[in-house]
Amino acid sequence: MRILFLGDILGRSGRDALTTHLPDIRARLRAELVVVNGENASHGFGLAPEMARAFFTAGTDVITLGNHAWDRKEIIPYLAEEPRIIRPANFPPGTPGAGHFIAVLADGRKALVINAMGRLFMELLDDPFRAVQALVQAHPLGRAVQASIIDIHAEASSEKAAMATSFDGLASLVIGTHTHIPTADHRIMPGGTAFMTDAGMCGDYDSVIGMQKAPASMRFWRRVPTEKLAPAEGEATLCGLLVVTDDATGLATACAPLRQGGCLAPVWPEV
């Protein structure tokens, strides 16, 4: 299976880049499953239903969320009718929505997509490792599903690496989101799981992690959050990872990063 994962879509520039370029990127990469993190799509904070619909129309199959899941309140009732949008699985019981989705390809192959949120330097949620373990055990790779993707939305690189190490050989891909910076450590781990500490964001990198530079910078100078944060509006760089898996085992056989547009050096995945 050819899986494309794109990092946090941030603001209008990220949304426009995704909806404009994803159809061509998906065709050129022959991607069979596209997963994007959409929790920063609405002005950097949350996801509105109309934005999610535009992402699906452009060729997205599954949208993951994170710590800004509820910043647009209208997404809460929308989750009940749109199971392709998932929030972290380790949110407390009774939280709206679900923490996983099983995508079914046209030929019948299945892919499990899990969203989890880290706890180090973030909210104290339920244990993400045990939440992921329960879902992985319920949908074993290579038997119940032909691929599985874990989006670990976390601040600490150590927590993301621990997630990858814990589920090496049990998932096709463990990929980090949230920090908005694409890391250079993409690889296939000893057990056959592809891993990248952070996919990066799909947004304007002439910014402070996607936000306009002056007000975001002044928060560090003054330590008084009086400046209103707003997304940078220049050309976005689309950042993510392409993973190729073996349908029999579900494990990764190749992975390569994608960076297109904007001010970052372009990288096209040749796999």
Q: Write out the catalytic residue numbers.
A: 68
Nearest residue to 48 via CA among 36, 57, 40 = 40
- Count helices and strands in the chain by DSSP H and E runs: 6, 14
- Which uninterrupted H or E stretch holds 110? strand 110-117
Q: Are 232 and 256 in contact (CB under 8 A)?
A: no
Q: Are 65 and 42 in contact (CB under 8 A)?
A: no
Please state the φ and ψ torsions of residue 56, each to the nearest 5 degrees.
-65, -40
Q: Are 191 and 183 in contact (CB under 8 A)?
A: no
> Strands 110-117, 147-153: parallel, antiparallel or unpaired by DSSP?
parallel
Q: Are 193 and 170 in contact (CB under 8 A)?
A: yes
